[in-house]
Structure 1
Amino acid sequence: MAKNILLIGGSYGIGAEIANELKNENNIIIASRSNDSLPDGVKHIKFDALEDDIEKIELPDCIDGLVYCPGSINLKPFKSMSIESFREDLELNFISLVRVVHGLLPRLKKSDQASLVFFSTVAVKLGMPFHTSVAASKGAIEGFAKALAAEYAPSFRVNVIAPSLTDTPLAEKLLNSDSKKEKMAERHPLKRVGKREDIASVAAFLLSEKSSWITGQIIGVDGGLSNLNIT
């Protein structure tokens, strides 16, 4: 039986790639601000994670899979970061995620075993300069996901993907020239930056029955950056 998979903010980049991988065997719903790059065969609902109430949009009674895609890459020296910047990143990356999950609880509970997939960053595990705000807000996601997985097992499975730099519209400023791409690729043991397919395939796996014994995990999809030192 086809599952109902809801992607929040998944109309382009990694979210759209996840939808493409899953749409043939599942009912995919993307709730996002835009539908400019919406994959064929996917239902779209207008939704702003920062402003809108997930409980007030029309969704199936049962949600079997949830992916929260909104995120930020706000890289600046700490001395240049305002408190308001930290608040904005926390609101988008974490607080809005919490609101979405809380509002969907009744629908998630109707699934035989819902699978929730969130996104962190390699910068939580591997301290990096200029990442104080994004690492803080994404670190909150990791802690939240583990606690949520423990509280709702076996009803839900909750896992987090922690990518390194991936070639998506969100990272465009960091990869907008061949020299930048080469420099970033050299930092990774596998000598390339991530592709959206790298991340989407892991998300699709976590949403499938093939991962039915996996929960509470932070999965690094990072070209080996977080665990390997090859210098």
Structure 2
Amino acid sequence: MSDKYLIVGATGSIGSNLAEQLYSLGKKIHLVGRDEEQTKSLSEKFNCDYTILNVLDDGFVEKLRSDIEEVKGIAYCVGSIDLKPFRMVTETDLNKCMKLNLYSAIDLIKGYQESLKKNKGSIVLFSTVAAQRGFTNHSIIASTKAAVEGLTVSLAAEFAPNIRVNCIAPSLTNSKIAEPMLKNKVLAEGIAKAHPLKRIGEGKDSASLAKFLITDESSWVTGQIIAVDGGRSKLS
């Protein structure tokens, strides 16, 4: 039996906060990231193993499994912000976004399905508020993340009662991938005001829910798409 939690995209705002929160609970974690310096630094901070890889590379699951074979839970904290007017959207744009957010998540889950089943494990995926709310220029990421939501409920049904599958749908979060948008103070203030709670999300906001969903604290929760969005999906 394994009690180790796999965090893919560990150097991001949500992934790193999740690692910190699981570590504070005494949980064993394995970090996965592209940036060796940042990932190694986190591994030293949290006294854990790590793997350097890119989920866009072929065979990444086999490489990861050579480092860690058994897991109790997976948090796929990989994401992107692909914004473009619809008239400019190409098949290449869609394929790259789907590969990063959906296909690689599927490959990862397949690679660890038997381990998760044996360990009565949990999977946490990530969507976006834009999958449910209509936003201009979001056709690439919204359609891709909507597919992730569909995958969540499908796998939750198929894997029950042995593996739980849930999805978190954040609004814009203060992170590296959002930095190009948020460095414009006027734009950042406008986005913050569009949320009923009048602020941009922080990594710890979604990480706190991910911690709950990936551990046995949420042992009776599966197939859920849960918004962490400052109220934007329902109240604005």
State if a TM-score over 0.5 links the two structures: yes
* Contact 2:6–2:31 (8 Å) recurs in 1: yes
List gaps (5 residues or longer) in structure 2. Answer: none
Matched, 1:166 2:173: yes
* Cα deviations by residue, 1:168-225 (Å, 9 ceiling, x for unpaired): 0011111013222211101000001101111111101111222111100000000000
Deviations 1:138-191 (A, max 9, x none): 111100110000011110110000000000001111101322221110100000
**Distance in 2 (alpha carbons) for counterparts of 1:60 and 1:98:** 18
Q: Which moved more, 1:219-228 or 1:67-76?
A: 67-76
- State which drifts further: 38-47 or 128-137: 38-47
1:84 maps to 92
CA displacement, residues 71-128 of structure 1 (integer Å, 9 cap, x when unaligned): 21011110111121111111111111111111111221220x2110000000011111
Would you tell me which structure has more helix in proportion to its own residues?
2
SS of aligned partner of 1:226: helix
Amino acid in the other structure paired with 1:29:
H
Matched residues in 1 for 2:187 and 2:49: separation? 36
**C-alpha separation between the residues in 1 aligned to 2:68 and 2:95?**
32
Name the aligned partner's letter for residue 85 of structure 2: P
Shift of 1:27: 1.2
Equivalent position amino acid for 1:159 in 2: N
Partner of residue 34, structure 1? 35
2:151 aligns with 144
Structure 1 counterpart of 2:111, which letter? G
Q: How does 1:111-150 map to 2 (within 5 A)?
A: 111=119, 113-150=120-157
Q: Which residue of 1 aligns with 2:50?
A: 44
Question: Which residue in the other structure is 2:230 paired with?
Answer: 223
Which secondary structure does the structure 2 equivalent of 1:220 belong to? strand
- Give the distance between the partners of 1:162 and 1:35, measured in 2 at CA: 28
**Equivalence for 1:63:** 71
Instruction: In structure 1, give the amino acid aligned to 2:235.
Output: L
Q: Which amino acid aligns with 1:127?
A: G
| In 2, Cα distance between equivalents of 1:19 and 1:71 | 17
How well do the aligned residues superpose, as a CA RMSD in angstroms? 1.5
- Structure 2-normalised TM-score? 0.92
Count of residue correspondences: 228
1:107 to 112, 115, 125: 115
What is the alpha-carbon distance in structure 2 between the residues aligned to residue 191 and residue 53 of structure 1?
A: 40
Q: Give the whole-Å Cα distance in 2 for the aligned partners of 1:34 and 1:42.
A: 16
**Ranges in structure 1 where 5+ consecutive residues have no aligned partner:** none
The answer for the alignment partner of 2:9 in structure 1 is: 9
Counterpart residue number, 2:60: 53
Compute the TM-score of the two structures, normalised by the length of structure 1: 0.94
Find the aligned partners of 2:213 and 2:67 in 1 and give their Cα distance. 22
C-alpha contact (below 8 Å) 1:4/1:60 kept by paired residues: no
